[in-house]
Chains A and B, each alone.
Chain A
Amino acid sequence: MLRFIVVRLTQLIPTLFGLSVLLFAWVRALPGDPARALLGDRATPEAIERINDTYGFDEPLIQQYGMYLSALFHGDFGESIKKHEPVLSAFFDKLPATVELSVVALLFAVVVGIPLGYLAGKRSGTNVDGGIVTLSLLGSVVPVFFLALLLKYVFSIELEFFDSVGRQDARLDAAHTTGFYIFDGIINGQFAAAFDAFKHLVLPGLALGTIPLAVVVRQTRGAVAEVINEDYVRTARAKGLRSTTITVRHVMRNALLPVVTTLGLQLGLLFSGAVLTETVFALDGVGQYLYQAIRDRDYPVLQGFILLIALIYALITLIVDLSYGLIDPRVRES
């Protein structure tokens, strides 16, 4: 077990190294450069020269990369050109908002997706099944930003059910101990603040959750349709067990094995996919910060954030693989 973790973490090193090379090249391949983005179109050549000199952008690329890499080894992700703050602390500052959003989106996908998938799988081939599959497909083909804008327009501007921007109503003056606003509200006893933070996440969560929802529905449907015809389910029925026992213990415990893997991967994707949603709803998270960094050609932020997201993605995948052993005894053995 420990060996497995060590091996997996070691495998991460070349992956991240390769990614750092690609990222370094990619951000520099973007049209425009940080100095021009910072100073605007009318900047004098001297001013641009000065910025490039300060950040070493006039050095040969190899040398720049060498400097970047050696700083990375010392845990230094550099500093934002635009905002003058360390990239690493900015990332952890923005992380809670993104984690909250991703978790809400994933919860939505799970809570709605698994029952729908079960229903479709159990009735596979019927109209119920067709309806559910069509709906979930529809959810996954509508672009996230479009759905986000649509939800925002209908539910927050027209119907005024939810606030459309930010993470929390500033007038609540809520305490923020950890940066996870819902969690903060609960531990500080400010339940109104926690609820308000949740309300701000409903629409973005829905918008972001539709793609994982579709994936969860289809995966669950397929697994249930297969498991329900397994001999051991027939054995369970021959025992005269109640249908809830059969569904939970015999059908779902087996059908959810592949779904768990999918969920882990989806969580990683959500993380990186939150950029557009955060921008539409002005959620002050990793995604929005990254979006601004792209506009500003903020090389250190782009490189650092994407590298850190990749690292988190890899760690989530590792946790999913480990959790597989907990839920499937056959994997535990080997």
Chain B
Amino acid sequence: MNEKQLLSVDGLSVTFSRRGRDPVEAVSEVSFTIAEGEHVGIVGESGSGKSVTAMALMGLLPERGTTVEGSATYREQDLLSMSRRQLNQIRGSEIAMVFQDPMSSLNPVVTIGTQISEVIRRHHRVSSKEAANRSAEMLDRVGIPDPRRRLREYPHQLSGGIRQRVLIAIALACEPRLLIADEPTTALDVTIQAQILNELKELVADTGTSLIMITHDLGVIAGLCDRVHVMYSGRIVESARRYQLFTTPRHPYTGGLLQSVPRLDSPQDEPLRPIEGSPTDTIPWTDGCAFQPRCPHAIDQCLEATPHLEPYEDRMLRCFNPLKGDEDDKRDR
């Protein structure tokens, strides 16, 4: 694989402030890199800051009341500090995004054809006819039958699965170097989910597109990503290559996530073990480890100091008392 760096995020933090309320730090100290053609996963529960991270990179957060710090260097330019004009040259053409909810992410009163061709015409000098041809071609590539007819249709005439394919077609229309997919299959039926994921995988593999896959579902990551970042309460708590993460999770939160996923190879009578509590049972990172209230592995130190993301064995880890042993030990715990 070509290991040339495409995007390097360094110390990203996002703070939301509203009048009369304390500012909320939704994301902080997030750093990661993605190489050309690499597929990176960001995993975490709702509210862990993974979507906010993606929105910040795309410049899609509301300007009012939002403070974004850090840098995101994309091909020697900082995405976070560039002008709206520069950003608009890159958004949609070099970096594209697929959103979570296909039902509401398409404009209900504009035809599918226009919604695809507008992004093509924005970034390439082509005639409307040429743009329509390319739109039809894109629909065909994402596996939508009879694309010519679909171009004239409106979103309400299409099923959720087809709409998500349309959104993928829009995102890939200008052959971006980087695709950010924010829970692209969460709103879909399970059978459609698998189809879409497979198609997405093939599409990005064919074009050599780098991918950031944001999900709460480790199953999605398993078949798709080279590297995984696990986020909790706005920070990355564990970063590892996929194999290492799945076989030997070191952060208790990662371990918890893995145990709450049903697996074909686990004994039939073994119940799934959900992580105790909910993401709201958290403490501020300044008071210790945010996961401490839910952590079965917590020690006194977890409330005394803030853990940092540090190299640990073959990965980066933010934990005072990591899980030990190999896969089998973890099972028995």
A contact residues vs B (CB 8 Å cutoff): 230-232, 234-242, 245, 249-250, 253-254, 257, 327-330, 333
Q: Name the CB-closest residue of A to B119.
A: A239
- Contact yes or no, A238 B96, CB < 8 A: yes
Closest CB of chain B to A215's CB: distance in Å?
A: 22
CB distance from B60 to the nearest CB of A (A): 6
- Tell me whether A232 and B119 are in contact (CB under 8 A): no
**Which among B68-76, B105-113, B256-264 touches the partner chain?**
B105-113
Q: Taking CB as reference atom, which chain B residue is nearest A332?
A: B154
Considering only CB atoms, which chain A residue lies closest to B104 in the complex? Answer: A231
User: Is A234 in contact with B105, judged by CB distance below 8 angstroms?
Assistant: yes
A238–B97 Cα gap in the complex (Å)? Answer: 7
- From B86-94, B219-227, B284-292, give the one contacting chain A: B86-94
A257 CB to closest chain B CB, in angstroms?
A: 8
Q: With A231-B99, A231-B101 in contact, do A236 and B107 touch (Cβ < 8 Å)?
A: yes
Cα–Cα, bound, A327→B58 (Å): 32
A235 touches B170 (CB 8 A): yes
Residues in B lying within 8 Å of A, measured CB to CB: 58-60, 87-93, 96-97, 99, 101, 104-110, 114, 118-119, 122-123, 154, 156-157, 167, 170
Residues of A close to B58: CB separation below 8 A? 238
Question: Are the C-beta atoms of A240 and B119 separated by less than 8 Å?
Answer: yes
Q: A-B contact count, CB below 8 Å?
A: 80
The CA-CA distance from A236 to B92 in the complex, in Å, is: 9
Other contacts beyond A249-B118, A329-B108: 8, CB < 8 A: A231-B105, A234-B105, A235-B107, A237-B91, A239-B92, A242-B122, A254-B107, A330-B108
Cβ–Cβ < 8 Å partners of B110 in chain A: 249-250, 253
Considering residues A237, A239, A254, A327, which has the most beta carbons from chain B within 10 angstroms of its beta carbon? A239
Knowing A253-B109, A254-B107 are in contact, say whether A242-B88 is a contact too (CB < 8 A). yes
Q: Which chain A residues lie closer than 8 Å to B109 at the CB level? A: 253-254, 257, 327-330
In the complex, how many angstroms separate the beta carbon of B175 from the nearest chain A beta carbon?
A: 14
Asked whether, in the complex, the Cβ of A239 is within 8 Å of the Cβ of B90, the reply is no
> Which residues of A sit under 8 angstroms from B157, Cβ to Cβ?
333
Residues of the A chain whose Cβ atoms lie less than 8 Å from the Cβ of B91: 237-240
CA distance A236 to B167 in the complex (A): 11
